Amino acid sequence: MVTQILISISMPAISIFFSLLLISFRFTAVYGGGIGFTTTLFHRDSPQSPIRNQSLSHYDRLNNAIRRSISRADALFQRAAALTDNTIESPISPGGGEYVMSVSIGTPPVAYVAIADTGSDPAWTQCMPCKKCYPQSKPIFDPKKSSSFRHVPCTSNTCQSVGGATCGDQGSCNYSIVYGDQTYSKGELGTDTITIGSTSVNMVIGCGHESGGGFGTTSGVIGLAGGELSIVTQMSKKSAVSRKFSYCLPSVSSQGSGKINFGKNAVVSGPGVVSTPLGPRTMYQMTLEAISVGNERHAVGNAVVKDNMIIDSGTTLSYIPKEMHDGVVSSMAKIIGSKRVKDPGNFFGLCYSSDGHDVNIPAITAHFAGGADVRLGMENMFMRVAGGVSCLMLTPMTASDPFGIWGNIAQANFLIGYDLERKTLSFKPTVCA
């Protein structure tokens, strides 16, 4: 359980994008309607990922993802408990990330691999001179070699708008972020050119001279949440890219690639699209009204709590209210004909004897506010956790958890669109790989 969050600068949360992303960008000009670009996504454990541990088995990787998911959920709950309407959102741990993305920084542009996350706002990378840095797969960024890098002065509006900022010896804007699991990044804010394919945007980034733990071999973090320092917001203010993005995550077992789209390319439309309202905070909140298993509908009490879930790419599992979870398990146990077995890891409550494909599940639908009924498939509900054993990937919330989490397994094979201008979240069934 996360016990402490310390910040010297209360920057919006830094932490994926739908579990680590490795992204190569394709830029497209759209005349008369803004611009857009599309990227290719890979899960951190994909064979194409530069941070994949080749020595681990499928089950080792899954168990690691479950541990990261638990830590991530605890950090999200702790973050929510620390917030009031007048506070800047505290950083949560990326937990090693679930997706990575590739961007280029500086002039001339140098490619880096970073954790991308819908639960985070600012971008930062390790920088020279490095007082204390963790090993990364690419050379550490040297701002002195970039002709476009500029320090953010501590007297600037940008620095003063970030609570807790301090002035450095030469008038720079210093930050210090300590995550809930004590991983950290410390350094100075700067502006530099972020290059995505053939387009470049000048953005505020953190240049970390001290950092440690929890970031794998990536160079840092790219934030995709809704705050002022996220890449999504900064692009909309400094270019013709509208404040929208969408992504399509392949199932974990597919080992294929997905896509992430920005601006005009991020519009989700056509047959099968359903949309639900997004809540007011930079964490992407939505309202889950019920889950149906076959003809049995399971809700929580008589009144639905608004904005009771967040959708988060950095959390693997989904956390739903215990009453709803128990109802779903009860309905499935009555319908699924496979032999019920115990989870070898003693974590999941509903498991069946399976080769990973022969559990015939009933029709399962998540009912979100606004009439957004999302039909879930086998890959969204069950996963093989050991030889011949498949378990339900839904987890019951505790009484103290402030909200539920819609994790990335439940998001697989949907094109999911975030429209931050209209405050809507859209789902479209899609084969993502």
Active-site residue set: 117, 312
Q: Are 152 and 181 in contact (CB under 8 A)?
A: no
Alpha-carbon gap, residue 91 to 33, rounded angstroms: 35
Strand runs (DSSP E) across 249-400, as ranges?
258-263, 274-277, 285-286, 288-293, 296-298, 309-311, 318-320, 340-341, 351-353, 364-368, 372-376, 382-386, 389-392, 394-396
Q: CB-based contacts of 132: which residues, under 8 Å, 6+ apart?
A: 209, 210, 211, 212
Beta bridge partners of 52: none
Q: Are 298 and 292 in contact (CB under 8 A)?
A: yes
| Residue at token pair 């402030």 | 402
Relative to beta strand 340-341, strand 424-429 is unpaired
- 131: burial class by Cβ within 10 Å (0-12, 13-18, 19+)? exposed
Measured in whole angstroms, the distance separating CA 262 from the mean position of its chain's CA atoms is 15
Beta bridge partners of 189: 206
Q: Are 244 and 417 in contact (CB under 8 A)?
A: yes
- Which residue, 392, 363, 393, is CA-closest to 375? 363
| Three-state secondary structure call for residue 323 | helix
Omega of the bond leading into 271 within 30 degrees of 0 (cis): no
